[in-house]
Amino acid sequence: MPGVRISTKLGLGLTLTSAVILGAYGYSQLQKEEHDLRTATEQAARLLATALQVAMENALRDGQAADVNEILESLDHRDPTVDVFVFDAQAVPVVRSPGSSQTLHLVEDASRRVLKTHHSLTHFAGPEKLSHLLIVLPLHSDDSTVVVGALAVVKPLDGLRQDLESTSRATVLSVLTLITGISLVGWLLLMLYLQRPLERVVGAMRAVRGGDFTATVTPGSDDEVGEVVHAFNGMVKELGEARQRLSAEAESRLALEAGLRRVDKLAAVGQLSAGLAHEIGSPLLILNGRAQALAARADLPDDVRRNARILVEQSERIERIVRQLLDLARRKPSKLESLDALASVRAVVELLEFDARKRDVRLTFHSEEPLPRVLANGDGLQQVALNLLTNALRATPRGGEVRVTLAPSTFQPAPGLRERHGVRLSVEDTGVGMDDAALERFFEPFFTTWSAHGGTGLGLPVVKAIVAEHGGAVTVTSRPGQGTHFIVHIPSEKEEGTGAV
């Protein structure tokens, strides 16, 4: 299921935020409007009740009952919705306006409370307190100290309810209109300034993933999205340049591998030559000596001495060939110098990064600093790293990992020798590993478990010889199906000695 677009998320967030803010504002306005309407209605009703209170007290004081009825009839003609009641001291209604019987029950309890407390009472009655407004005032005697009755005014709130309903509808409509407008404007702005530019960037990304490193996006603005577009265009340009560099590195690597294969072949020839020279040398010397003796005897026939001289010449020729084979087999001593192992190993790692990516193998390199300088031959040290990394990459399946680590170390070149300080080169893979039988023969010349894949069996013997020549040590651990771990120790530049494996 595809994910929700960011424009949709932002649009929903903007809509919800607007709804909450405007809804809260509308609700507060409705509350304020209701309060204002209640206050205005209460003030008008209280003015009427106060005026009636004065008139009723004067009429009762003068004993003019007819005036009371006249006042109520006049009020009924003026506002028939208002009901007025006059209670005696026992809360019994003695006078009331016409048609007020339906609201009498609303003020009976209130009149008793007023007669008991001698304080006026104002109360909103009914559902949501929007049915009727009750105002009950005490009626005093001549000296204004004795309460002789109570006056109750009941005003229906139909007009107030209608005003509140009208205001509520207008407020809700205004809020919905504002939310809709803000949402539409926000959605349009998101489409213009976010979604469409990002769609262009995504399209260019797909083109780059397909191999088109010329795909760019035209910036439409100088805002944050424009910065993203500029950064993307710069990244695509750098990727194109990196691809060109990788192609050049691949060509260099192929040339280097071809040279290494030639070196391996020469090493194989050297090993074979050394064996042949040892086996041929001694019999050849005997053959040459006997032929010279026969050629020097004057009592032998000429053809015998001539054949003997031919044997001498050919044996000397074979001797020269054997001497050349021995010269080929002998390694020339490497020139050791103080160097930075980090730079040498890092160059090999960078060289093989392309091969690792091609094999879908993760190649990682870590170095602990500071590293001591080592006394080594730069080419030899790189040859060691190259052979170990090549074997590790070859043995690691797709999705595996090869870890290369450099760190200061303390090691013992061989049992019984003193410990030495130097640099440890660790090459660990998650490849197929080896069993114990293969591990015992791992450093033998011409032994390889990858003959079907071009292995010669000479890479690790070369590693062994170079490390020993540097006075270092190399160890290997491996488990079938779990990988192989090589550790090479190279002494620091202030130490010299004999290496061990």
Enumerate the domain spans of the chain.
6-163, 221-330, 337-491
Decide: 391 and 478 in contact? Cβ < 8 Å. no
Helix/strand/coil (H/E/C) assignment for every residue in 214-277: CCCCCCCCCCHHHHHHHHHHHHHHHHHHHHHHHHHHHHHHHHHHHHHHHHHHHHHHHHHHHHHH
Of residues 275, 299, 295, the one with CA closest to residue 287:
295
Question: Span 196-215, mean pLDDT?
Answer: 77
pLDDT in tens, 217-227: 777 667 777 77
In angstroms, the Cα distances linking 269 to 262, 279, 329, 384, 445 are: 10, 15, 8, 20, 11
Q: How confident is the model at residue 259 (pLDDT cuts 50, 70, 90)?
A: very low
Question: Span 243-247, mean pLDDT?
Answer: 81
Distance CA(47)–CA(49), nearest Å, equals 5
pLDDT in tens, 336-384: 888 888 988 998 899 889 889 999 999 999 998 888 999 888 888 888 8
Decide: 45 and 133 in contact? Cβ < 8 Å. yes
**Is CATH 1.10.287 correct for 221-330?**
yes
Query: With 80 as the cut, is the pLDDT of residue 198 above it?
Result: no
Query: With 70 as the cut, is the pLDDT of residue 274 above it?
Result: no
Decide: 80 and 95 in contact? Cβ < 8 Å. no
Decide: 143 and 61 in contact? Cβ < 8 Å. no
Pair of tokens at residue 159 = 């007009």
pLDDT in tens, 436-481: 777 777 676 656 665 544 455 567 777 888 888 888 888 888 888 8
Decide: 479 and 433 in contact? Cβ < 8 Å. yes
Which superfamily is assigned to 6-163 in CATH? PAS domain (3.30.450.20)
Q: How many Cβ atoms sit within 10 Å of the Cβ of residue 331?
A: 11
pLDDT of the residue at 501: 47
Q: How confident is the model at residue 317 (pLDDT cuts 50, 70, 90)?
A: low
pLDDT of the residue at 18: 83
Of residues 164, 169, 171, the one with CA closest to residue 23:
171
Q: Does the fold of domain 337-491 match that of domain 6-163?
A: no
Distance CA(407)–CA(228), nearest Å, equals 40
pLDDT of the residue at 1: 40
Q: How confident is the model at residue 292 (pLDDT cuts 50, 70, 90)?
A: confident
Judged by DSSP in three states, 76 sits in helix
Distance CA(140)–CA(146), nearest Å, equals 5
The answer for residues whose C-beta is within 8 angstroms of residue 359's C-beta and 6 or more apart is 393, 396, 398
Q: What angle do CA 195, 197, 200 make, to 5 degrees?
A: 110
Options 3.40.50.300, 3.30.565.10, 3.30.9.10, 3.30.70.2190; CATH of 337-491: 3.30.565.10
Decide: 402 and 361 in contact? Cβ < 8 Å. yes
DSSP string over 120-157: -EEEEESGGG-SEEEEEEEEE-TTSSSEEEEEEEEEE-
